[in-house]
Structure 1
Amino acid sequence: MSRRIEISEVGPRDGLQIERNFVPTEQKIALIDALSKTGLSKIEITGFAHPKVIPQLADAETVAAGIRRAPGIRYGAFVPNARGAERAVAAGIDDLKIGVAVSDSFNRLNVRMTTEQGMQAIDEIARVARGTQSRIVGGIATAFGCPYEGPVSRERMHRMLAQLLELGAPIVYLADTTGVANPDRIRRTVEDLRAAFPQAELGLHLHNTRGIGIANALAGLDCGIKHFEGSIGGLGGCPFAPRAVGNICTEDFVHMAHEMGIETGIDLDALIAVARQAQEILGRPLPGMVMKSGKASELHAMDAARVKVD
């Protein structure tokens, strides 16, 4: 198990994209600026998809232009195709987050392409990024199974990872896009890919759809995974997944890591404050637990009020 890990915050994009009511641009910018002060080194701020497909991200350029960029932080954005990549490069995005689902069914719903077409699109995105200040960061969606097709092709996943590595992706995140994974499946998948691609730097993008997202993250830690993605307050849920639930909660995962003596470089108190800010922006309770119950290291007076945490 690594004693230091790196967390990429995806709440402003993956977390907000499923929201039905449009979150005002200035509130998105305020949330990103607050996240930039927590010690995070990577923040996914938006996505350059067609606004008719994901209306919540229609203000991508405005968000990218409006944030206060802090030194040492890489600001990323999801890009589904070459046109999205061109927009992201023009907007000064550091990391072009590219991803294709192993499952054809899911990929058609997510980006209106088959998996094979999506792999061709990745080549086109890489060509757009070449020679610019932007780099590609890979993702393999439905890496642990698909709600429409069930188990996914191991051969196809190997081929996708090989392509991303050949294109120079420094990290490839394996995504449990719809929360079908379990700790044993995490271990078996990571071990299989590491055996075939020992040079690959793998990360995990996990959802808490069935309540075991943190358990899956722990399995990743046990495998030596150093790169994780999380969403502030547990925001999110894929709009193309049935009964979608949010990503693993960033501050809950950071709290667990710190309690285990694993360094993240993140100010947990500042992160908890941002989670509460996100909750206020959306006007409803979010799934994150540490912002409600407090850190395990906090001591309480014996006569303190007992309050039920929902």
Structure 2
Amino acid sequence: MIKLIECPRDAMQGIPKFIDTAIKAAYINQLLEVGFDTIDFGSFVSPKAIPQMRDTAEVLSLLDLHNAKSKLLAIVANVRGAEDAMDFPEIDYLGFPLSVSETFQQRNTNASIAQALTTVEEIQNLCEVKGKTLVTYLSMGFGNPYGDAYSPELVAEFVEKLDQLGVKIISISDTIGVADPTLINSLLSLQIAAFPHIEFGAHLHSKPQEIAEKVRAGVKAGCRRFDGALKGYGGCPMADDELVGNMATEVMIETMELDGLELNLNKLEFGEAMKLANFVFNP
């Protein structure tokens, strides 16, 4: 079964103009009607680092979760953020960005990879105690623009370390859109075969015309968890200056359905979400 993770947090976080809290909540409430597996709805990070997400707790208080099928995921960058997120029983998943690039780890969380791995261990332990699930994102998982060491073998070393910590979900992230279908297929195939007890996801960024082939490469590799954002909005504000958009959810859906995959989404509500996205991101 395919799991689609819709990421309004990722779509919104780099927008300089603050989006009204009520508008954020209305948009996420509409997304909850669609039937996505998970909504990556906000983050508990420093408001100085990501000002757009400073109202995550307020947004959460405005969500209508009655009968919602979707689970909620919040991004955290340190133990303090994880502890803050633990106060909310509505949150199912905590997402942590661990990078295979030392430069990007410093830029993204102001910590070294070694420090970040210690943080992962602490957050994983917190999640086990509090009944939540940690999703670790391996950012720069398909290469980086900084000249840092990279290879599929390096990614495998990180997965091995995360496996030893008990992490059950790892989303390999193409933070700057450099992965081609061949690399996506080979990298995911290798990890899925080597660690069958781990749920692997793909958080890919892409130029619009390359989305379909990247999705198909991931599905062929055995990946069943994909992140996206309506209309491809967003990107990581801590990444390379030339941002590449998120995978457009509507293109992923079209591609998967053309290939005969059942997604169990409410198409009427999805259409309404697309209309609302135009208002939220193009006020």
Which range, TM-score by smaller chain?
A: over 0.9
Residues 186 and 221 in structure 2, CA contact (< 8 A), matched pair in contact too: no
Over aligned residue pairs, what C-alpha RMSD do you find? 1.8
> Match of 2:37?
41
1:12-56 CA distance string (max 9 Å, x none): x11100111111110110011000101112101101110000000
Paired residue type of 1:105: T
Corresponding pairs, count = 280
> Match of 2:86?
89
2:130 alignment partner, SS class: coil
1:21-100 alignment, distance < 5 Å: 21-69=17-65, 70-92=67-89, 93-100=91-98
Q: Distance in 1 between matches of 2:14 and 2:125?
A: 30
What is the CA distance between 1:195 and its match in structure 2? 4.1
> Match of 2:200?
202
Paired residue type of 1:179: G
Paired residue type of 1:124: E
1:221-300 alignment, distance < 5 Å: 221-241=219-239, 242-283=241-282
Q: Distance in 2 between matches of 1:276 and 1:220?
A: 28
2:129 alignment partner, SS class: coil
Structure with the higher fraction of residues in helix conformation: 2
1:180-225 CA distance string (max 9 Å, x none): 0000111121233234323332110110147423321110011121
What is the CA distance between 1:147 and its match in structure 2? 1.4
Counting aligned pairs with the same residue, the percent is 30
Residues 119 and 160 in structure 1, CA contact (< 8 A), matched pair in contact too: no
Residues 136 and 168 in structure 1, CA contact (< 8 A), matched pair in contact too: no
Tell whether 2:104 aligns with 1:106: yes
What is the CA distance between 1:150 and its match in structure 2? 5.8
Unaligned runs of 5+ in 1: 285-310
2:227 alignment partner, SS class: strand
1:153-205 CA distance string (max 9 Å, x none): 44442232123333333321110111000001111212332343233321101
1:266-301 CA distance string (max 9 Å, x none): 1234223212201112226xxxxxxxxxxxxxxxxx
Q: Distance in 2 between matches of 1:229 and 1:112?
A: 25
1:139-218 alignment, distance < 5 Å: 139-149=137-147, 152-209=150-207, 211-218=209-216
Residues 179 and 209 in structure 1, CA contact (< 8 A), matched pair in contact too: yes
Q: Distance in 2 between matches of 1:127 and 1:223?
A: 30
Q: Distance in 1 between matches of 2:118 and 2:76?
A: 14
1:70-120 CA distance string (max 9 Å, x none): 443211100111101011111232100122010001111111111121111
1:152 alignment partner, SS class: coil
Unaligned runs of 5+ in 2: none
> Match of 2:125?
127
Q: Distance in 2 between matches of 1:6 and 1:17?
A: 23
Residues 232 and 250 in structure 1, CA contact (< 8 A), matched pair in contact too: yes
What is the CA distance between 1:57 and its match in structure 2? 0.4
What is the CA distance between 1:236 and its match in structure 2? 0.6
Residues 124 and 167 in structure 2, CA contact (< 8 A), matched pair in contact too: no
Residues 208 and 214 in structure 1, CA contact (< 8 A), matched pair in contact too: no
Q: Distance in 1 between matches of 2:212 and 2:174?
A: 12
Q: Which of these two proteins has the greater Rg computed from alpha carbons?
A: 1
